[in-house]
Amino acid sequence: MNRTVKYSVIPLIFVILLFSSCSNVSREKDNTPPNIIYIMTDDHGYQAISSYNGELNQTPNIDRIADEGVMFTNSFVTNSICSPSRAVMLTGRFSHENGQRLNGQRFDGSQMTFPKIMQDAGYETAMIGKWHLGSDPTGFDYWNILPGQGDYYNPDFIEMGERKRVEGYVTNLITDYSLNWLEERNSEKPFCLLVHHKAPHRCWMPDTSHLYMYNDVTFPLPDNFYDTYEGREAAASQKMHMENLDLVNDLKLLDEEGEIQTPLRKYFVNQVERMNEAQRKAWDKAYKDEIEYYKKADLKGDALLEWKYQRYLEDYLRCIASVDENIGRLLDYLDENNLTENTLVVYTSDQGFYLGEHGWFDKRFMYEESFRTPLLMRLPSAISKGKIDELVQNIDYAPTFLELAGVGPTEKMQGRSLLPLIEGTKNTEWRNSLYYHYFEFPGPHSVKRHYGIRTDKHKLIHFYYDIDQWELYDLEQDPLEINNIYGKEGYDEITDKLYNELLQLQKQYNDTTVVISR
């Protein structure tokens, strides 16, 4: 604990450095500031990246970043939901500090963000793809974003305030725009490009080129697929179970006869109506057999759940196949233009996602699959290769990029630069616990408000608001998090220790939005 507290006193020095535009100590050896390409997908669970887990799919291009750089094996978010996570990433501050606690809020773009600081420091900055923060982007020389959640097919883009519809598939288009910007940028300046994909967000619509991928594959069921949620009231009351998947919107059973009527059918009709004739023809042909099968099979109970799981994963992973190919296009561009050596490439997601674990899809919970997020970084000129096991969090991204750019984090940033870890600096003192806080209840999928602490070995969570339940997990003994040992015999000492550390983290990060009582 002392180490992180000590660090929070230091940033004043960095602010002085920032405004005197001194170059940062760690980069003095090389006067060319590195470029940054930050690639972030939406809802990409680490389970669906072959560097992390080869059981579901292969992602050779994303793996290139891991193979040629570093892979964080313990990377987490502070609040597992889209728009709050994006605000954390930009500001280096927790949701209770940057104001973006919920999806649907309007981000206060007047506050300090890392792109603004980099722009002031002489970087050319751009933001392309899914923004999802309500207000217009600030701190970018160029921006071209999807409105709101965006659409998969023939999406609208808002380019510097001007909205227009563009023909094509969203993941390819975001990459096209990114490559165009790289081509046309001011090559005298270092650049910072944010590439934010919509994929693989719900409703998981694959490109026409991937509609048959995984047709012959049966994905393994997670070990806790049939979780009974015993002793876990919040887990029992969520609405993100396989049974909540919408047959039409999520599983693509848009039958011509209109016999399959679901709550989200109308929404999905709007999605396919965006398609042109060729796209629609390919789409209808691909899902025809699924619709026929479903109608004939009359699946019930576990058989229906397992069929839904397979159907869900097929489309989810098809969307990721497009992401992976498009990351290949970006990496190839860097190679062909002699930019690989001095460009930091980051791959991450705004949070993790459930791929059937606990029987779920979606995110929000502090349980591992959605609390974690993939994080890979490659910068051949400066960083080591290999795995990094320290506990890192999305508050750390902004301080990292700023230190790399030679301007240092600002005093308000609550994260720590990851540079000492990725440069392989030996004996770096690091944090030994993480703080988490999720606010969106009541809300979609009915996940209760909760906050908690995670160390290497344990996790203590408090669900609150209309519920008052503590949960404790031993992550080594119970990696599936199905055995809540809070209040059980023999765990008092560790509970007290974690509880006190949790209070300390709330104090350190200035979270006064809840008053703990136990």
Give the interface with Ca ion as residue ranges (CB under 5 A).
Answer: 42-43, 82, 350
Distances (CA, A) of 45 to 42, 152, 246, 247, 479: 9, 19, 21, 22, 16
Q: What is the DSSP string of 195-263?
A: EE--TT-TT----GGGTTTTTT--PPPPTTTT---TT-HHHHH-S-BGGGS-TTTTT----TT-----T
Write the single-letter amino acid at 4. Answer: T
Q: Are 377 and 346 in contact (CB under 8 A)?
A: yes
Q: Which residue is nearest to Ca ion (CB)?
A: 82
Q: Are 315 and 252 in contact (CB under 8 A)?
A: yes
- Nearest one of 33, 183, 178, 191 to 123, comparing CA atoms: 191
Cβ of 42: how many Cβ atoms within 10 Å?
Answer: 25
Kindly tell me which of 86 and 308 has the beta carbon lying closer to Ca ion.
86
Cβ of 53: how many Cβ atoms within 10 Å?
Answer: 13
Q: Are 17 and 407 in contact (CB under 8 A)?
A: yes
Q: For the chain, what is the radius of gyration of the CA atoms?
A: 23
What secondary structure letter does DSSP report for 350?
Answer: S
**On the CB side of 137, how many CA atoms lie within 13 Å of its CA?**
29
Q: Are 59 and 48 in contact (CB under 8 A)?
A: yes
Judging by beta carbons within 10 Å of its beta carbon (0-12, 13-18, 19+), is residue 80 exposed, middle or buried? buried
Residue identified by tokens 């940057």 is: 98
Tell me the two tokens of residue 367: 């349980």
CB of 83 to Ca ion, least distance (A): 8
Maximal CA-CA distance, the chain: 71
Judging by beta carbons within 10 Å of its beta carbon (0-12, 13-18, 19+), is residue 346 exposed, middle or buried? buried
Helix axes 11-19, 2-9, angle to 10 degrees: 30
> Alpha-carbon distance 179 to 231, whole Å?
51
Backbone angles phi, psi at 352, to 5 degrees: -85, -170
Q: How many residues does the chain have?
A: 518
Tell me the two tokens of residue 378: 């490659």
- Nearest one of 325, 338, 334, 380 to 68, comparing CA atoms: 380
Distances (CA, A) of 183 to 40, 347, 428: 21, 21, 38
